[in-house]
Amino acid sequence: MVQKDGEKAAGSDVATTTPRDVSIGTAVVPSGAFENPGLLPHRPRATDLDPKTEKTAERRVGGLFLFSVVASLFAVVAYVIFPIVPGDMDSVRLNNLFLGVGISLALLAIGLGSIYWAKNLMKGGEWTEPRHPTRGREETRAAAVEVFKLGNEESGFGRRTLIRNSLIGALVVSPLPAVVMFRDLAPAADPVALLRTTLWDKNVRLTRDPSGTPIKASDVTIGSVFHVIPENLEDAEHKLEEKAKAAVLLMRLKPEDLHISPERSDWNYQGIVAYSKICTHVGCPVALAEQHTHHLLCPCHQSQFDISHEAKVIFGPAKRALPQLPITVDSQGYLVARSDFHEPVGPSFWERS
C-alpha cells in the first residue's frame, strides 16, 4: 500500500529531481524521453473474485505440500530399496539417482507451493517502495562526528603520537610474512635450470608408458607410435613432475620421408624419431599422430606439427617446433637417448632465452 505521510522512518526521505530538458554537452533536445507511467491500476486476481477458483488454488498449494511429503518418503524408501552394494558401481548410481530425485522433488514442491500461495492467495495489491537517499540525516552525521571526536579524546590517539605511529608501523609490517610465504611458493631455484633438464641423459633407455619395459629398435615397425617414458622415472623423487617434462612420443617413418637438417643427422635411428610430447604453446600432450600425413595435432588449441620436417609448426598458435630427443641403440639393440633435450621442453617462459 501507499506510504502514509507524517510517519516517515529514518532514512526514508525521497530526493526528487526535475529531469533536464537539454542533455549536458550535446545540447540536443531529447525527444521521446521515458516518462514514469506510475503504478498500473489494481487488477483483482481470479482468486479474489471467484471463491471456486480460490478453493482450487488452495487445493493446489495443499497438493504441492502433500506431494513434498510423498517425495520425502519416497527418498527414504528408495534409499532402503536401492542400497549401495560394495563393489557394484551401478548400485551407487541407482541409490544416488532415486535419493536425489526424491529430495529435490520434495524441496521443489515446498518452494513452488509457497510461491503459488503467495501469488494467488495471500493479500494482493501493488505499492511503490521508494529508494531511500544514501545521505544520512544531519543529526545522524553530527552524532557520528561526535563519536569520532570523543574516541580520539578518550584514547588520546591524536595526542600520543608515539603510540599512533608505532601502531601504523606495526600494521604496515604485518603483511610481510605473507609476502615471504607466497614468494616461496614459486620455484626457489632458477626456473631455467629446472626446466632445461629432464630425466633423459646419455644411455637412458626408452621404455613403454605405463609398463616401463624397454623398447628394441626392431619393435618399432613403420607407422608405429610408442608413448615413452625414461627408464629411470620409476626411481625419480618427484615422479609426476619428471614424467610431465620427460614424456616422449616415438614414431617410425620411412627414412626417405624424413627431412633432416645436417646437425641432426644422427638424432634418429633408421627412421625412428623421438619428440617431446609437451606442446610448445601451453603444454598440452601432443599425441594425436597421423600415420600417413605425419602430422601431430595438439587437441587443446589445434597446433599442428610436421614430424617429417623435424616437428615444425604448420598450423595453430604454437611458435616453436617440438624439441627432438636424440636417440640411438645400445649394444643389446634397445633404444637409448644420446643426451637430454637440447632445449627446454614445453611452453615458453619468461627467462627462456
Partner 1 sequence: MRTHTSIAGRRPSGRRHPLATVALITIGLLTTGGAYALLSTSATAESTAASQQSITEGQKVFAANCASCHGLSAMGTDKGPSLYGVGASSVDFQMGTGRMPLAFQGPQGAEKPLQFTQEQIDAVADYIASLAPGPAIPDEKWLKGDGDIALGGQLFRTNCAMCHNVAGAGGALTEGKFAPSLAGVEARHIYEAMETGPQNMPVFSDLNLSPQDKADIISFLKYQQEHSSVGGVDLGGLGPVAEGLFIWIFGLGAIVGVTIWITARPN
Strand (E) or helix (H) holding 12: none
Distance between CA 204 and CA 209 in Å, rounded?
15
- CA separation (Å) from 31 to 18, 22, 24, 26, 134? 16, 10, 15, 13, 31
Pairing relation of β-strands 206-208 and 304-306?
Answer: unpaired
Say whether residue 293 binds partner 1 (CB under 8 A).
yes
Q: Tell me which residue of 135, 149, 194 sits closest to 344, measured CA to CA.
A: 194
Q: Which of 157, 209, 317, 339 binds partner 1 (CB under 8 A)?
A: 209
Instruction: Rank residues 153 and 290 by Cβ distance to partner 1 and give the closer one.
Output: 290
Single out the residue of 89, 162, 172, 186 in contact with partner 1 (rule: CB under 8 A): 89
Q: Closest CB to partner 1 among 95 and 195?
A: 95
Residue with cell 552524532: 143
Are 152 and 146 a contacting pair, CB within 8 Å?
no
Residue 266 or 290: the one with the smaller Cβ distance to partner 1 is 290
Stretch of 18-26, 66-74, 93-101, 190-198 contacting partner 1, by CB under 8 A:
93-101
> Could you give the dihedral angle defined by the CA atoms of residues 99, 101, 102 and 105, in that order, rounded to the nearest 10 degrees?
150
Binding positions for partner 1, 102-121, rule CB under 8 A: 115, 119-120
226 binds partner 1 (CB under 8 A): yes
Q: Does 291 bind partner 1 (CB under 8 A)?
A: yes
Rounded Cα distance between 320 and 311, Å, is 9
Map the footprint of partner 1 across residues 184-203, applying CB under 8 A.
Answer: none
Q: Within 236-265, which residues bind partner 1 (CB under 8 A)?
A: 251
CB of 206 closer than 8 Å to CB of 233? no
Considering only residues 198, 280, 304, 308, which one is a binding residue for partner 1 as defined by CB under 8 A?
A: 304
Q: Is the CB of residue 339 less than 8 Å from the CB of residue 200?
A: yes
Per-residue binding letters, 147-186, with partner 1 (x by CB under 8 A): ----------------------------------------
Q: Which residue in the set 72, 243, 297, 352 belongs to the binding site for partner 1 (CB under 8 A)?
A: 297
Distance CA 310, CA 293 (A): 14
Report the nearest approach of partner 1 to the CB of residue 282 (Å): 16
Of 158 and 223, CB closest to partner 1: 223
Stretch of residues binding partner 1 (CB under 8 A), selected from 155-163, 183-191, 196-204, 297-305: 297-305
Q: Residues 304, 298: contact at Cβ < 8 Å?
A: yes
Distance CA 147, CA 327 (A): 79
CB of 261 to partner 1, least distance (A): 24
Are the C-beta atoms of residues 247 and 229 closer than 8 Å to each other? yes
Of the candidates 211, 200, 285, the one whose C-alpha atom is nearest the C-alpha of residue 249 is: 285
| H or E element in which residue 300 lies | none
Task: Find the shortest distance in angstroms from Cβ 225 to partner 1.
Answer: 4
Binders of partner 1: how many residues, by CB under 8 A? Answer: 42
Q: For partner 1, which residue of 290, 301, 330, 333 counts as binding (CB under 8 A)?
A: 290
d(CA 200, CA 195): 12
Cβ distance to partner 1 smaller for residue 221 or 265? 221
Nearer CB in complex with partner 1: 58/219: 219
6, 38, 175, 210: which one binds partner 1 (CB under 8 A): 210
Q: Which residues bind partner 1 (CB under 8 A)?
A: 43, 45-47, 89-90, 92-93, 96-97, 115, 119-120, 124, 208-210, 216, 218-227, 251, 285, 287-293, 295, 297, 299, 304, 315
